[in-house]
Chains A and B, each alone.
Chain A
Amino acid sequence: MRTNRGAIWASIIALFLGFAAVTQVHSQDVFSRSLNLETPSSLTTLIANLSETNNELRNEIFDVRRAVSDAQNSVSSGQGTLTEAERQVAQLRVFSAQSAVAGPGIAVRIDGSFDERALSDLVNELRNAGAEAIAVNDMRVGPKSYFTGAADRSIAVDGRPLRGPWMVRAIGSPDVVYVAMTRTGGIIGQFELIYRTTRFAVTKETALDLPAQVAAAR
């Protein structure tokens, strides 16, 4: 009886150990586990996306490295680092939607029924395509912007209701952003299937003018 009990215990512990060993092997690389489920075409898209992010990082590293050596040189020649600080202030004001901006990009005109979740998804997709500045009608979208529905079928951006037809404008590479929106199976194609009576018009723009973000109304 005792032997059996011992064996049962040993088996239970061994089962657990076996389970733990496999779990351990599998959890070593969390990405490859989920990547295993992807099709080659999805993987190719993921790789393109990773490469793009890494290229941007390399460019930025190059720029900041130069800024560091410029700053060191101007400090040692007694000039201070005002110019570099001014450049950074200008860049961050654009990046965080605190200054009005101009540039090329695309415009999406939405005429018909639409909702806040779809608008939030559209903004997400534009950012993903590399849009640097986005506005809905005349409201600039900022880092903490949120979208809510309102009773009269208007959509509120940061608590301010905006009525359709909505004009979403985004500054960025016109070709890249345009293709990302209008490709087969892309977000505009999906919208056209879901909001069947709504008209979506995407156009490339050579000169857009977007206002700075106004303080959020809470």
Chain B
Amino acid sequence: MNVVAVQTPRKVQRSLVLLVPAVLFGLLVTLQWRTQAERSELSVRYNAPLIDAASALQKEQNELKTQLAQLRARLDEIQRNASSQSGAAKELQLQLDELKASAGLTPESGDGVVVQLDDARNVSVSSRDIDKSICHATDLTDIINTAWKGGAQAIAVNDERLVNSSSVYCVGSTIMVNGTLMSPPFNIAAIGPQNSLLGAYDDPNQLQDIKQRRDVQGLGFHVSRASAIHVPAFSGALNVRYAEPH
């Protein structure tokens, strides 16, 4: 805008006249470009109330998770205060702390790797190849499996901590992790031994399909060393209803 500001008033006026149509033109070009990728209006018409319902449920879920986290913290505080009274209680509290950490109920930080996975962007792919240029749930499960294999101690996908009940679920082209809606790009943060993790991802026998799609269709796949990664605590429900310990 500096360039416009130094013009004489008359010239500024002339430029301003151009400004409005140019903004409109920019809007149009972009809208056109964006809508081409989307479905026809007809199917969108039936979808609108369903999309609203899904968005409302996801919003509600975020609130429920916050509420649960607060209650868990409150319970933890009461137990911690009470456990200072006896030796047996102290012992039990230690055991509980260890279990919470190994179950993924405590946040973790440390060095590790971050894997970025994204749909191919700004690359013209033929419609035949579209399927290969976008991220799938199975790409995520393969990337996660490789991280555990590489010795990861804690993993989060877009800030959803992976625990024993975690699953990656795919409906149409939408992906859910821990029952939470997600869309690309995906950031898979894995805390663990960096060399071993990088070695697992560099192994040419691993993730062959993803690497080939990165090279040919422009799928976004990038592994990098990262220090002081923060992985949040699991904020979902611990469903134990059918399994009885024995």
Contact = CB atoms under 8 A, between A and B. Distances in A.
Given A23-B30, A53-B61, A101-B244, A36 B44 contact: yes
A172 B99 CA distance: 22
B227 interface: no
Contact of B26 (A19, A90, A100, A128): A19
Interface string A87-113: 011111111111111111100000000
Interface in B29-82: 29-31, 34, 38-39, 43-44, 46-47, 50-51, 53-55, 57-58, 60-61, 64-65, 67-68, 71-72, 74-75, 78-79, 81-82
Contact of B50 (A18, A23, A47): A47
A59 interface: yes
A116 B163 CA distance: 20
A201 B137 CA distance: 25
A147 B23 contact: no
Contact of A15 (B26, B54, B71): B26
A105 B53 CA distance: 32
A95 B238 contact: yes
Interface in B136-182: 137-138, 141-142, 145-146, 148-149, 151-153, 162-169, 171-174, 176, 178-181
Contacts, number: 317
B181 A46 contact: yes
Interface string A156-173: 000000000000000111
B30 A19 contact: yes
9 contacts: A7-B14, A18-B24, A36-B51, A38-B174, A46-B172, A49-B169, A85-B93, A88-B96, A120-B141
Given A9-B3, A10-B22, A146-B145, 18 more contacts: A3-B11, A7-B15, A18-B24, A21-B27, A29-B55, A36-B47, A50-B181, A53-B236, A56-B179, A61-B71, A89-B95, A89-B99, A95-B238, A96-B99, A96-B102, A101-B244, A133-B243, A209-B246
Interface of A: 2-3, 5-7, 9-11, 13-19, 21-23, 26, 29-40, 42-47, 49-54, 56-61, 64-65, 67-68, 71-72, 75, 80-82, 84-86, 88-105, 116-117, 120-121, 124-125, 127-128, 130, 132-133, 141-148, 171-173, 209-210, 218
